[in-house]
Amino acid sequence: MPLSCLHIHHRSHFYGLFSLLLYSRDERLIEEVLLSQYNLKDASSIGEVPGEVRRKVLDQLYELLDIIDAGLFPDKRLKTYYMLLLDNYYGYLNQKWFKVYDLIKLGVISKEEAVAHKNSFLELLESIDERTKSSAWDKVPDLIKLGVISEEDVKRYSA
């Protein structure tokens, strides 16, 4: 049955879907659903969902990915979702930035892809949340060494 018959906008269904997956906490089911061609194809539309719902969906996505990879070995097949998280800087989504080295080292994303999203990280340097801001500043040397950001990028935030 098409989502339109259920009066669910195709960009908003992730909230309900991710809620159910979080409730289940079933790693196999979460992986299967996230890797379905339909969801992978439609995932880029999450960025078009209105702000507060998008934030909740991305928070849920972060938790789902954490359940699957237990923070150890990110799955290359889930690249679409990791890229969505790197492109957003609020809440604890910023923690995916702190795993960029591993994402690159394991071949989940390329250095060039991380560089293309570096502005999301740089915005963390001005976060109103002091803990987030401090954590971001702690990560600066590593990201400079990795070549994702430059000293030049950081200078405008240190003034």
Whole-prediction pTM: 0.69
Q: Which band of pLDDT confidence, cut at 50, 70 and 90, is reported for residue 3?
A: very low
**With contact defined as beta carbons under 8 Å apart, do 90 and 64 qualify?**
no
The mean pLDDT value for 59-67 works out to 78
Nearest CA-CA partner of 61 in 119, 128, 47, 116: 47
**With contact defined as beta carbons under 8 Å apart, do 96 and 55 qualify?**
no
The amino acid at residue 24 is S
CA distance from start to end of the chain:
55
What is the predicted pLDDT for the residue at 152? 93
The CA R_g of the chain, rounded to the nearest whole Å, is 16
Kindly tell me if the per-residue pLDDT of 111 is higher than 70: yes
The mean pLDDT value for 126-133 works out to 85
How far apart (Å, rounded) are the C-alpha atoms in residues 80 and 146?
22
Between residues 69 and 101, the one the model is more confident about = 101
pLDDT in tens, 4-57: 444 344 456 787 888 888 888 888 888 888 888 878 778 877 777 777 777 788
What b/e readout covers 6-41, taking b as 16+ CB neighbours within 10 angstroms?
eeeeebbbbbebbeebeeeeeeeebbebbeeeebee
DSSP-assigned letters across all residues of 27-87: HHHHHHHHTSHHHHHHGGGGGGS-HHHHHHHHHHHHHHHHHHHTTTS--GGGHHHHHHHHT
